[in-house]
């Protein structure tokens, strides 16, 4: 008898035995199965099963591993490192130069309180810090009176920084105030529509704003020249500033402003603003017409070139000059 024939006989015998096996399993499903002797059918099937060259491994259920994405981390006694947020572009800002600590006996301490006092304005609508923060820096907005207007509004006035205000020659975009006292009084009475300030109030406010200095500068010396470790672009930009760019004729070193007013084709004669910390004082010009420092530098070089009948800058030169001016 062939192997195939014998296999068919075994299969038939197995089918005949299925009903009996089903009946046995249904009678006592919860009883532990007693060990049984192998039947003739089982011994015959075992004898006919092909032999493996290797012993069979014990049957077992595969272990299921939890996916790495959902696996819970093991508890650790060492605190996990906090993930740091992505670094944001940084410029010189109000938070970089907090006011120096002031004693209560210092007149500047009273000035700081007055700087944040809305009672200086009509109806308590605003304080000096509304436009300049408590640190005296600009809030980068353009105003008509106390109303914010769009940058570039011909009636608007861009808020300047008060950092280094004690070093300036004249004050106000129109250069109308010869002293800090006159400038602050004019802002309170004319812009804020507040009551006439007392001499003591003005003295305290002046004492405070004189404490507002520029941030430390690692690329440019106090006299305006680049430091030895300044970037190559800043050094090249400085040569353009005092050379072909003509910037130094109006923004005179080391204050980077001048006392007189100039007409550069923006709607009248205005005070030449300081360029210290200019990278964080956008928008630019009296009406805030230019948002980009590079665009402001380009406009001013074009004004100078037209006036002096000189050449215009290359794109690379604009990059270098902007690097120097932005480092001030």
Beta bridge partners of 269: 263
Best CATH choice for the domain 232-326 from the list 1.10.760.10, 3.30.300.30, 3.30.70.1020, 1.10.3720.10: 1.10.760.10
Q: Which of 218, 214, 216, 243 is nearest to 230 (CA)?
A: 218
Check if 94-209 and 232-326 are the same fold. yes
What is the reported pLDDT for 105?
66
What is the reported pLDDT for 176?
86
Domain ranges in the chain are 94-209, 232-326
Question: HSE (CB half, 13 Å, CA atoms) of 10?
Answer: 17
Q: Which CATH superfamily is domain 94-209 in?
A: Cytochrome c-like domain (1.10.760.10)
What is the reported pLDDT for 255?
87
CA–CA distance, 219 with 216 (Å, rounded to integer): 9
CA–CA distance, 173 with 178 (Å, rounded to integer): 12
What is the reported pLDDT for 170?
83
Compute CA 203 distance to the chain's CA centroid, rounded to the nearest angstrom: 37
Residue 181: CB partners within 8 Å, gap ≥ 6? Answer: 202, 203, 206
Residue 249: CB partners within 8 Å, gap ≥ 6? Answer: 304
What is the reported pLDDT for 327?
95
CA–CA distance, 302 with 311 (Å, rounded to integer): 9
What is the reported pLDDT for 179?
92
Q: State both tokens at 326.
A: 């932005």
Burial class (CB in 10 A: 0-12, 13-18, 19+), 239: middle
Q: Which of 213, 204, 30, 226 is nearest to 128 (CA)?
A: 204
What is the reported pLDDT for 12?
42
pLDDT tens sequence across 221-271: 999 999 999 999 999 999 999 999 999 999 999 989 888 888 999 999 999
pLDDT means per 10 residues in the chain (328 residues)? 45 40 34 45 50 40 32 38 35 42 78 96 94 93 94 94 88 89 95 95 96 90 94 97 94 88 91 92 95 96 94 96 96
Residue 168: CB partners within 8 Å, gap ≥ 6? Answer: 255, 257, 274
pLDDT tens sequence across 298-326: 999 999 999 999 999 999 999 999 999 99
Q: Which of 254, 264, 287, 269 is nearest to 175 (CA)?
A: 269
Bond from prior residue into 283 cis (ω within 30 degrees of 0): yes
Q: State both tokens at 121.
A: 């304005």
> Residue with structure tokens 């665009």?
295
Q: Which of 125, 206, 197 is nearest to 165 (CA)?
A: 206
Length of the chain in terms of residues written? 328
Q: What is the DSSP letter of 186?
A: H
């Amino acid at each position: 008898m062939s192997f195939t024939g014998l296999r068919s006989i075994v299969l038939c015998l197995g089918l005949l035995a299925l009903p009996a096996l089903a009946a046995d399993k249904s009678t006592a499903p919860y009883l532990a199965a007693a060990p049984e002797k192998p039947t003739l059918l089982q011994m015959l099937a075992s004898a006919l099963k092909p032999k493996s060259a290797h012993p069979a491994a014990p049957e077992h259920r595969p272990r299921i591993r939890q996916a790495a994405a959902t696996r819970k981390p093991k508890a650790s006694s060492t605190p996990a490192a906090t993930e740091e947020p992505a670094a944001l572009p940084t410029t010189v800002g109000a938070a970089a130069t907090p006011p120096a600590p002031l004693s209560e006996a210092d007149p500047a301490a009273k000035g700081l309180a007055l700087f944040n006092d809305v009672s200086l304005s009509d109806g308590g609508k605003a304080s000096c810090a509304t436009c300049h923060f408590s640190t005296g820096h600009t809030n980068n907005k353009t105003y008509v009176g106390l109303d914010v207007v769009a940058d570039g509004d011909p009636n608007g006035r861009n808020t300047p920084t008060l950092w280094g205000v004690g070093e300036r020659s004249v004050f106000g975009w129109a250069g109308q105030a010869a002293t800090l006292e006159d400038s602050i009084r004019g802002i309170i009475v004319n812009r804020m529509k507040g009551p006439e300030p007392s001499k003591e109030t003005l003295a305290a406010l002046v004492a405070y704003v004189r404490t507002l200095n520029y941030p430390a500068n690692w690329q440019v010396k106090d006299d305006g020249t680049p430091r030895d470790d300044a970037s190559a672009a800043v050094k090249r930009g400085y040569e353009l500033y005092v050379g072909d760019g003509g910037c130094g004729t109006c923004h005179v070193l080391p204050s980077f402003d001048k006392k007189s007013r100039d007409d550069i084709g923006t709607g009248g004669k205005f005070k030449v603003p300081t360029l210290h910390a200019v990278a964080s004082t956008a928008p630019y010009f009296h009406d805030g017409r230019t948002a980009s420092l590079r665009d402001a530098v380009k406009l001013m070089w074009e004004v100078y070139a037209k006036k002096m009948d000189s050449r215009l800058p290359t794109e690379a030169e604009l990059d270098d000059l902007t690097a120097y001016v932005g480092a001030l």
